[in-house]
Chain A
Amino acid sequence: QSVLTQPPSASGTPGQRVTISCSGSSSNIGSNTVNWYQQLPGTAPKLLIYSNTQRPSGVPDRFSGSKSGTSASLAISGLQSEDEADYYCAAWDDSLDGSWVFGGGTKLTVL
């Protein structure tokens, strides 16, 4: 049971816009920034969005992030076949001694 809640799956056709949600609590998303990681099949996770809305260099502007209260979202516009991957949200959690918490991951299928 992951601390952050994501839908297990999402899908879309090429060119469509899809969004993936990430729900947390006041101790994690509510008080810290959210990051998103993309894991292509058989590879290590890669930073996709950091500090809620920022894209690292090299990440297409088709990817965007947002945060409101204790929830965050990842939006992918102009969906492409190479976007088929698992997507994870993550945030620092201030409870107890502090720890990183992840969402359970969302498998994105491009139909």
Chain B
Amino acid sequence: EVQLVQSGAEVKKPGESLTISCKGSGYSFTSYWINWVRQMPGKGLEWMGRIDPSDSYTNYSPSFQGHVTISADKSISTAYLQWSSLKASDTAMYYCARRIAAAGLWFDPWGQGTLVTVSS
């Protein structure tokens, strides 16, 4: 079974750093790009950026460029989303999703989500 399993919920203070993870299993991790998607409380989905685990090439949405870093360790089939200095406005659910490219592009599956709460 193809799965993406994310790390657990986090509670942090403004200014702190954080890394959350997304571990793939059941498929060749380096064959599919991993994307990160934010969902703020009560709001819709926003694409943050993606990584190609085979070479760690990344690109970001302009809305998130410079505020987060996406990385991957293909030896353990895991992608990461990192903040160096959190803000209260980073409070959200974060999802990773595998991109499939075949006569179209789509995300499947999605991870279960990681809830990040930033509060003083």
**Are A and B interaction partners?**
yes
Residues of A within 8 A of B (CB): 2, 32-33, 35, 37, 44-47, 50-52, 54, 56, 88, 90, 92, 96-105
Judge whether B66 is part of the interface by a CB distance below 8 angstroms: no
In the complex, the answer to whether B110 meets A104 with C-beta atoms within 8 Å is no
A102 near B46 (CB under 8 angstroms)? yes
Which 4 pairs show the lowest CB-CB distances between chains A and B?
A51-B104, A100-B47, A33-B104, A50-B106
Closest B-chain residue to A91, C-beta based? B105
B45 touches A88 (CB 8 A): yes
Contact with A along B54-68 (1 / 0, CB 8 A): 000001011000000
Q: Give Cα A66–Cα B117 distance, bound, in whole angstroms.
A: 38
CA distance A2 to B35 in the complex (A): 18
B76 within 8 A of A: no
Q: How far is the CB of A14 from chain B (nearest CB, A)?
A: 27
User: How many inter-chain residue pairs (CB < 8 Å) link A and B?
Assistant: 65
- Known contacts A33-B105, A50-B106, A51-B104, A104 near B44 by CB under 8 Å: yes
B residues near A, CB below 8 A? 35, 37, 44-47, 59, 61-62, 95, 97, 100, 103-113
- Inter-subunit contact B113/A102 (CB<8 Å): no
Interface of B is mostly: strand
A105 and B45 CA atoms in complex are apart in Å by: 8
Give CA–CA (A47, B62) in the complex, Å: 25
- With both chains docked as a complex, state the minimum distance between the C-beta of B93 and any C-beta of chain A, in angstroms: 9
| B110 surroundings in chain A (CB, below 8 A) | 44-47
> Which B residues are in CB contact (< 8 Å) with A102?
44-47
12 additional contacts (CB under 8 A) given A45-B37, A54-B104: A33-B105, A37-B45, A44-B95, A44-B110, A46-B109, A46-B110, A47-B106, A47-B108, A56-B108, A98-B59, A99-B61, A103-B44
- A96-B62 in contact given A44-B113, A88-B44, A105-B45 (Cβ < 8 Å): yes
